[in-house]
């Protein structure tokens, strides 16, 4: 039996710790809960927001509608061969919990994505990625429930239209589906991805010569903890901005003025610029505006320094966008969903 609550604070349901409220709030612990919910007039007649861990959301005002918190739990093996295994995780599982589960079972593929905040259900929405790996590299399929009707649909990798921090669920299918479970294709044969330089540097510090998947995970965790604030202590949503893509001509033009600009060539001939480098070169590391701040160790991260409002953080992000554009002629894009 579902319980729809009224006028609930969302402060503990978003990693920025923004103290806003919603008209209605309900937690979904099973698919049957959702089927019950869609018959309810409060659900039918209000704007809807589906949340998991609240790690990619910035609330700038109270939410005038119903917030649906997904708590679907469970991790299982769907099928396996001698070399691969299909692992299914329900959407409400913590992402890092899934990573630790896969490592404990000696399944390879998720270790580079250790310690990313949020829940499993959000991972394909923005094709989360870190240290040379993205969800699309290990994705098998997902199951989703249509928000208006409850009809279940499966999406394969082609259906999801994954891009850089993008998927069909952030574009043409936005606000149409509730992702209920995600399945991943992991390897039993250990094939590590340590091409990202920082991982090898951290493994050297750890004095690990023949790393296991657990070693790689520990290295990634150490790197993230050294650069990124813990949202349980300091409100943040991780990387606030996407790394911008520019043409080769634009990159070469920038390089004449900024010899040390950090960029990566892409298969389409364009270049991806490091947004954190651009922000840092604007002198914005540690910059404060009202109660919000650019993180001192990673300029991609904006933090709630002292009871900031969502508008404080949004205004800071706007200042950063303007500063980067004025300096480099490059437009950054916010990665975080704004409400």
Instruction: Please identify which of the residues 93, 143, 245, 335 carries the catalytic annotation.
Output: 335
Residue with tokens 């540097």: 201
Residue 190's region, left for phi above 0, alpha for psi from -120 to 50, else beta, is beta
Q: Is 27 a catalytic residue?
A: no
The full DSSP string for 238-302 is EE-BPPPEE-HHHHHHHHHH-TT--EEE-TTS-EEE-HHHHHHHTT-TT-EETTEEE-SS-TTEE
Angle in degrees, 0-180, between the axes of helices 213-227 and 95-104, rounded to the nearest 10: 150
Choice among 239, 245, 293, 317 that is catalytic: 239
- Is 317 catalytic? The answer is no
165 in active site = yes
Residue 105 in tokens: 């079972």
* CA separation for the pair 103, 111 (Å, rounded): 7
Q: In whole angstroms, what is the distance from residue 161 CA to residue 170 CA? A: 10
CA angle 248, 336, 214 (to 5 degrees): 85
Q: Residue holding tokens 């969302």?
A: 10
Q: Which of 55, 93, 165, 217 is catalytic?
A: 165
Which two tokens mark 252?
A: 């070469």
Alpha helices in the chain (DSSP H): 31-37, 41-44, 95-104, 157-160, 197-205, 213-227, 248-257, 275-281, 310-328
* 235-239 and 57-58 strand pairing: unpaired
Active site residues: 165, 239, 335
């Amino acid at each position: 039996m579902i319980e729809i609550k009224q006028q609930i604070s969302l402060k503990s349901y978003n990693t920025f710790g923004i103290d806003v409220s919603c008209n209605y709030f309900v937690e979904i612990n099973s698919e049957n809960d959702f089927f019950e919910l869609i018959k309810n007039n409060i659900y039918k007649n209000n704007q809807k927001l589906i949340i998991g861990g609240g790690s990619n959301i910035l609330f700038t005002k109270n939410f005038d509608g119903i917030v649906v918190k997904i708590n679907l739990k469970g991790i299982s093996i769907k099928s396996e061969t001698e070399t691969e295994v299909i692992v299914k995780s329900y959407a409400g599982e913590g992402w890092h919990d899934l990573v630790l589960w896969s490592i404990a079972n000696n399944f390879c593929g998720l270790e580079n994505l250790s310690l990313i905040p949020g829940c499993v259900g959000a991972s394909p929405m923005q094709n989360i990625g870190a240290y040379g790996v993205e969800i699309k590299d290990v994705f098998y399929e997902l199951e989703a429930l249509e928000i208006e009707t409850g009809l279940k649909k499966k999406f394969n990798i082609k259906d999801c239209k994954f891009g850089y921090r993008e998927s069909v669920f952030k574009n043409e299918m936005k606000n149409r589906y509730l992702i209920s479970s995600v399945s991943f294709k992991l390897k039993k044969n250990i094939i590590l991805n340590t091409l990202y330089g920082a991982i090898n540097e951290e493994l050297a510090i750890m004095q690990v010569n023949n790393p296991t998947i657990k070693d790689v995970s520990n290295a990634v965790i150490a790197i993230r903890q050294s650069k990124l604030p813990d949202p349980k202590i300091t409100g943040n949503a991780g990387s606030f901005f996407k790394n911008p893509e520019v043409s080769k001509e634009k990159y070469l033009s920038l390089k004449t003025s900024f010899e040390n600009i950090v960029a990566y060539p892409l298969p389409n001939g364009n270049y991806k610029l490091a947004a954190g480098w651009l922000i840092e070169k604007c002198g914005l590391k540690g910059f404060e505006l009202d109660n919000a701040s650019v993180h001192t160790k990673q300029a991609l991260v904006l933090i709630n320094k002292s009871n900031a409002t969502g508008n404080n953080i949004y205004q800071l992000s706007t200042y950063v966008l303007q500063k980067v554009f004025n300096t480099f002629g490059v437009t950054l894009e916010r990665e975080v969903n704004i409400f």
